[in-house]
Amino acid sequence: MHALDWHLANSTHVEALPARLLRPRARANADARALAQAAWCLRRKSDGRFLATYDGRRLHALCHGLAREPGIGEAIAAIEASCATAGATGSLPLAGLEERLASLGLDAAYGKSTGLVLVPEPSRLEFAGYDRYRRPLWLLEPAARAWRRMQRAALADGVALDAISGYRSHDYQLGIFERKLARGQTVQQILAVNAAPGYSEHHGGLAMDIGTPGEPPAEESFETTPAFAWLRGQAGRFGFRMSYPRDNPHGISYEPWHWCWQPPAPAGASPASV
């Protein structure tokens, strides 16, 4: 199987990943055997908990209470659909997210005050290699290809780029919020550090945080590195632009590490500003 054939099948509460990517992480023997035989591993999105493996016909539970776990049937349907329509990617519905945001005290006023919009999650993401922490990096297909090309081109110029993170789910971001609220932090305190769930470019599968070995992740000091200088000059050739330069209109702090892929402009159109 070619690496780019590996994909993540997405559904509301559960994501299905190729089991082969996860084998080294399985601890228990029975689970390791199940992973070795399974094509897919089902993971709860809010906390990353492994729920079950799936071999195309049968589920093997990796947790207690699988029968009570919401979203398993939807996840199986998502696997079947993503395999049947290779390359075709839709978006998951936003219904439910707004309700959960309201229950956290985040209403439409947040979007209005920041000029940000809710970003739906793709139904399918492609494996784009591993990030700095040896976690699979997931991006939409064109961004995954562009990232691999750009990383190779940088290396040919003597510059090492690594991925800090790519796609992140609504549930992952909601989980961070709910855990911090449970510890007594206010929504305002959390928003000072974390993006509001649903509004991050990372949900859409086109944005990624880029770093270079030896540098801390997501720090402004990244702008002083040869990697950043290379990106400033070359990333546009691969379709990546910096989303949050200094004094951006969204009021988001300067993020020299955050780059987003955008489709090339039609021939003859003036290039988008970077």
Residues that bind Zn ion in the complex, under the rule CB under 5 A: 209, 258
Given the complex with Zn ion, which of 50 and 257 has the nearer CB atom?
257
CB of 209 to Zn ion, least distance (A): 4
CB of 44 to Zn ion, least distance (A): 23
- Reference 60, options 84, 82, 76; nearest CA is 76
Given the complex with Zn ion, which of 60 and 258 has the nearer CB atom?
258
Q: How far apart are CA 144 and CA 5, in angstroms?
A: 11
For residue 195 the two structure tokens come to 């993006």
For residue 198 the two structure tokens come to 């649903």
DSSP three-state, residue 233: helix
CB of 202 to Zn ion, least distance (A): 6
CB of 29 to Zn ion, least distance (A): 38
Are 213 and 160 contacting, i.e. CB atoms less than 8 angstroms apart? yes
Given the complex with Zn ion, which of 7 and 258 has the nearer CB atom?
258
Given the complex with Zn ion, which of 13 and 258 has the nearer CB atom?
258
Q: Would you put residue 86 in left (φ > 0), alpha (ψ -120 to 50) or beta?
A: beta
Given the complex with Zn ion, which of 35 and 195 has the nearer CB atom?
195
CB of 200 to Zn ion, least distance (A): 7
The residue whose Cβ lies closest to Zn ion is: 258
Q: What is 140-179 written as a DSSP string?
A: -HHHHHHHHHHHHHHHHTT---EEEE----HHHHHHHHHH
CB of 123 to Zn ion, least distance (A): 22
Q: What are the residues whose beta carbons fall under 8 Å from the beta carbon of 38, sequence distance 6 or more? A: 19, 53, 54, 55, 60
Given the complex with Zn ion, which of 40 and 167 has the nearer CB atom?
167
